[in-house]
Amino acid sequence: MIPIIAEITGSIQGALGCFAAAIGVGLVGMKAVEAVGRNPGASGKILVQSILGMALAEAVAFYSLFL
């Protein structure tokens, strides 16, 4: 019984980490689109910053899955 509970606990940890990463990527994308809509001339700088933000948000998913 204990090994089954341990597997379920690990699965919940991974699922919550991936869910948090998905929310983070969605927020970064939403705000990037909003920023480009307000200032289209800065789309290059906004793209770079949004890619960095999404990469950092995805790191949360990797940490939750592999640790």
Number of domains in the chain: 1
Domain that holds residue 43: 16-66
Residue 57, in any domain of the structure: yes
- What is the pLDDT, as a whole number, of residue 2? 77
Residue 31, in any domain of the structure: yes
Residue 10, in any domain of the structure: no
Residue 3, in any domain of the structure: no
- For tokens 């920023």, name the residue: 35
Residue 2, in any domain of the structure: no
The CATH number of residue 38's host domain is 1.20.20.10
| 3 state SS of 26 | helix
For residue range 17-67, what is the model confidence (pLDDT) as tens digits? 899 999 999 999 999 999 999 999 999 999 999 999 999 988 988 888 887
Among 31, 32, 20, 24, CA closest to 55: 24
Residue 5, in any domain of the structure: no
